[in-house]
A and B are shown apart, each in its own frame.
Chain A
């Protein structure tokens, strides 16, 4: 865990090992005794898509300090001296890098043996190193794991190589994950100051318990001996605050409806672009959680004099939940240290912040910005259960998520055979199985090739293992979604993201779509050319023209914010590229049969030419795309920056002097290339309301969101007018969620839970049951029967209209 925090790791789900690994190394782990079916299910005799002969397709190495039963199954056994693993892996890293090693023997192993193993790793199609307690619980501890992860990262220069721990018994992985999304840290947390603090040398059971108590198999222990350093706040605080919580049951519909209070907001200026209202002085009435024509007598009144009244914000693209977001939290402990919210600050749950904030912090902070609906856009279907567990915990906002299908091998299989009806049926099944709202594609085809260290760079380039091109994936899935009548069209992260000339891919993609509805996400990251002295420039103006001309296209920007952040994407090859150029921490997590995943912390520097071009490109998209209904405010949180920067971006868009001032601070070379119009246009309040709620809700197909007409959900934000738009949007006077006041003066005053939106597309276009059974039997590690996510995982589930019912 500490090793992961320190540097990340190249890893994957076990199905990838089953399907692809041709070299498997067990180091300090003895699966024959401790994980008896590991060999048969994943790593030894298991047959997979590219390992059809099972054991014969794999070379298995077992390294341990003694003869173990696992060695019987191995092609090669290596005996090492106890306590020398750190040295051995340091030497293996040297050998990987071609550095000469003078010694003949290290840690009881001949250097020649290690050199042969390194050569074998380099030649592997996909190599995996599993390490066990022989590594993690011997001298060197987490440094042993760090050395192994570093070895794995080095090896990725030569071959696809994964390094993964054989985790311990029971749900130790689950407890680390749950702690991480709720506190920011996977273990050793202390709440004594009212918020989570992490210190493995101080707050872990090893440090807190006297030795004699260690090892007791009790589920939980309360330690009562007095502690000189009293972390608890003084005074009795347990029983007096002990109260029967209504949050006992997982789903309580009563809670969602709130108090059903009637409320009238008077004297405010309503900005409701969905109804063409621009600062119209009218009252907004609320009853039973809905906007109504008349609240009736006895309604509470909010005097919104001097304020602007808008619908609650709707964020169309923000990475807030799911396995890879949780890895980002895990890998940024230093970031949580300086930013937290405390129970003493009036929040019902404490949490840590930073760019990859915990679930409670995320919900509170969105609400404090006046956002009431957020969409997690990138969850591999296999990660859906985990993502819903996190979304369940995010308070204050309504939520939805998209599933990733662009690198799904089932999709590729159907496309290859031209089975359109079956593809559509599969989409309907998987969207329902994941309880998703729509579909996203990330680097179609490319992330699949990354499983063998490859990528795709052209729309018509065929994949390695399937006779399928990105063009076919994009149009095929888009057509299937149209057929199903999904409320939000295909959400696309284009190929070649983040590299020079990526704008050409976008133009080709728009052309390939031939008028199909499409949402191009975080377009800023795909708006680069290879021109200029540095062979890197912004081609955002060309993309803005293309968007202006193609009415089927909507985009969100992904505006770069200077400062430290963490990048999280399913685009595995891109993250490796970023890791290579920055040397930053790197986590890779390929998902069997489905998609990729990478996490790399990143620092956008104001004085960096490239980062400045990226910053300017975002603004160019905002200001050169004419129709605000087709360009939305995002930072691709946290990829280009945290969502907390929205007020700053709004000020830059509304206030050209402020924007100029900001532009003065960037790299002069990048500044000189910004087109003049970008410096002149100013967004109006009306346009801001469009790009932050009206248009996003409309594009998502959420009919009751993003407007203040009768029948809309009573999610309302009241901003106090100011000429400093950043202050105005950073601190709403009131935020109303479902008819209840939840934020006052930019501060949460009431903890509420939001609903989760999902769709259930109509089934019955083709029979795919046999295909699914076959696919799960042969390529997945999860049983088909255990794969779908039940509604009990969703907080207050709301089925959105889809297909014929939407019409």
Chain B
């Protein structure tokens, strides 16, 4: 997969990036990143919408919107699942195969329903 191939004036330039948005799956994008923000991408309008607005940081663990520690967030998530009688894991379509595999493993472990965007 694409690696940062060069630096230009403090901007990281990634080449051959795959666009994750529509099913056209263009894999010829050049993405400019400065201070962890995408500043430029040479895709179509939909692609620009995805890359240039992908700034919200979802990497911090939160419970009900409040930031917390990973251990606590995982414990809370586990508690929610433990209390559920008939859990549904839905989605899987906005993530990669490795994460999908983990979702399926989780559904298998807790006896959940599992569904993706094919249904809607």
Contact = CB atoms under 8 A, between A and B. Distances in A.
Interface in A257-276: none
A285 B112 CA distance: 44
Contacts of B118: 1, 172, 175-176, 186-187
B119 A786 contact: no
A174 B96 contact: yes
Interface string A230-259: 111100111101100000001000000000
A770 to B, nearest CB: 18
A169 B21 contact: yes
A208 B20 CA distance: 28
Contacts of A170: 20-21, 93-94, 117
A220 B86 contact: no
B40 interface: no
The secondary-structure label for the interface of chain B is mixed
A350 interface: yes
B15 A785 contact: yes
B34 interface: no
Interface size class of A (residues with CB under 8 A): 35 or more
A341 to B, nearest CB: 11
B27, B95, B108, B109 — which one has the most chain A CB atoms within 10 A of its CB? Answer: B108
Contact of A224 (B84, B95, B100, B116): B84
A386 B60 CA distance: 31
A178 B97 contact: yes
A455 interface: no
A204 B89 CA distance: 10
A806 interface: no
Contact of B116 (A179, A190, A193, A226): A179
Contacts of A7: none
Contacts of B112: 190-192
B86 A223 contact: yes
Contacts of A389: 97
A215 B120 CA distance: 8
Contact of B1 (A167, A209, A393, A786): A786
B85, B95, B114 — which one has the most chain A CB atoms within 10 A of its CB? Answer: B114
B24 to A, nearest CB: 5
B116 A187 contact: yes
A239 B83 CA distance: 10
B65 to A, nearest CB: 13
A230 B111 CA distance: 11
Interface in B1-55: 1-2, 15-16, 18, 20-24, 26-28, 43-46
A786 B18 CA distance: 9
B2 A173 contact: no
A171, A208, A343 — which one has the most chain B CB atoms within 10 A of its CB? Answer: A171
B62 interface: no
A531 interface: no
Nearest to A221: B90
Contacts of A166: 23
Interface in A146-176: 166-176
A223 B84 contact: yes
23 contacts: A34-B22, A37-B44, A41-B26, A166-B23, A170-B21, A171-B96, A171-B100, A174-B97, A175-B92, A175-B95, A179-B114, A189-B113, A205-B119, A208-B88, A220-B89, A221-B89, A223-B84, A223-B87, A224-B85, A232-B111, A233-B111, A236-B82, A783-B28
Interface of B: 1-2, 15-16, 18, 20-24, 26-28, 43-46, 78-98, 100-101, 103-105, 107-120
Which 9 pairs show the lowest CB-CB distances between chains A and B?
A238-B82, A175-B92, A36-B44, A204-B119, A167-B23, A227-B86, A175-B116, A178-B100, A187-B118
